[in-house]
Amino acid sequence: MKKYINTFVLALSALACVILTACGPSKPTLNVYMWSDYIDLDLVQEFERQNNCKVVIDIFDSNEFMYSKLKAGGTGYDVILPTTYMAKVMFDQNMLEKLDHSKLPNCQFINKVYLNSIALDKTMQYSVPYMLGFTCVAYNKEKLGTIPETWDVFSNEKYAGKMTMLNDHRETIGSALFFTGKSMNTTDDVALEKAKNQLLKWKKNLAKFDNELYKVGIQSGEFLIVQGYSGDLFQVLAESPHLSYMCPKEGISMSCDDWVIPATAQNKDLAYKFINFLCDPKIAAKNMEFTCYCSPIPEARKFVSEENKNHPGMFIADELYKRAELIRDLGKDNVKFNKIWDAIKSN
């Protein structure tokens, strides 16, 4: 009887432990707001295991949408991935945490050349660079041979209906500004009018302005020439030997997306751990091979596969920095680009 009672008591105790565990505190959750298909989910799972947490990723498709959502009162995010220019806007409006570098030891690996040259937040006061990319042109070399390295390829009427440009007013107007010899961030009215007229000429030959389907279209042969983002295009090129790419000689847009911690974050310590994790050179190497974008962590090169050590998307040539510009926020002059874009889209 005693044995039975002891066994019964032990069974009840074990059941109680199970119930208490089930009703105990849940794992901490890190809420991330970022672009789609822009992180290796195996690494996310690795971070979850290391930190006994859950990562929830929410997606935005434009900086402006993300910004508007947050300004309208959207909260609940612990770490966000805006493009550099938008990160600065958010910081200037007191929307972001000033970073504690003692919690980010892996920031020592961030490329000093990038920080000292074109970065907007050179001391990483409020942002940590994640991935660098540039806008370029992919084309079907099997059908076209080698094409000239100029934005004016979109003037070629032979390819009318077989070309696309990005559905992004800063990128696309910027390409016309480059072609006409100006900075993509100029606010000069005469220069902008000239760029608008140039872009209207190109538009006559375009199938459409597009941010997503151009990748499938260039691969399938539906399109012959497309303007696109380097990471997207290099993923396609890796599977498509009939395609090639070029960077127009007049100039290209370069962009960097930065990790930031919103001032309203509820789990800042976990946010710091997440950013620091992604700045580990071994982790950055794996992530770079997944995205085909360039991690601003030179040390990561030691850990990529041999076939990718000279990948043009993962390791940007110094020469490209010389003809590249970052998109900058233009304040009240942003409206000039919006008006031009409205005129181009409605024409």
Task: With a cut of 90, say whether residue 98 has pLDDT above it.
Answer: yes
Task: With a cut of 70, say whether residue 18 has pLDDT above it.
Answer: no
Share of the chain above pLDDT 90, in %: 81
**Which tokens is 23 given?**
């009703």
Predicted confidence (pLDDT) per residue in 236-282, tens digit: 999 999 999 999 999 999 999 999 999 999 999 999 999 999 999 99
Average pLDDT on 164-175 reads 95
Confidence band, pLDDT 50/70/90 cuts, at residue 347:
confident
pLDDT at residue 13, as a whole number? 44
CA-angle at 178, arms to 234 and 245, nearest 5°: 20
Query: What CA–CA distances, in Å, run from 157 to 153, 163, 205, 281?
Result: 9, 10, 6, 46
pLDDT at residue 322, as a whole number? 81
Average pLDDT on 323-342 reads 92
Identify which has the larger pLDDT, 198 or 2: 198
Share of the chain above pLDDT 70, in %: 93
pLDDT at residue 25, as a whole number? 62
Distance CA 6, CA 166 (A): 73
Task: With a cut of 70, say whether residue 91 has pLDDT above it.
Answer: yes
Predicted confidence (pLDDT) per residue in 230-242, tens digit: 989 999 999 999 9
pLDDT at residue 37, as a whole number? 87
- Interacting residues of 113 by C-beta distance below 8 A, sequence separation 6+: 321
Please tell me whether residue 152 adopts helix, strand or coil conformation.
helix
What mean pLDDT is reported for the chain?
91
Q: Which of 283, 233, 260 is nearest to 50 (CA)?
A: 283
Q: Which of 90, 37, 32 is nearest to 64 (CA)?
A: 90
Helix (H) or strand (E) holding 255: strand 252-259
- Cβ contacts of 218-223, under 8 Å, gap ≥ 24: 218/138, 218/139, 218/140, 218/243, 219/243, 221/140, 221/143, 222/162, 223/162, 223/163, 223/164
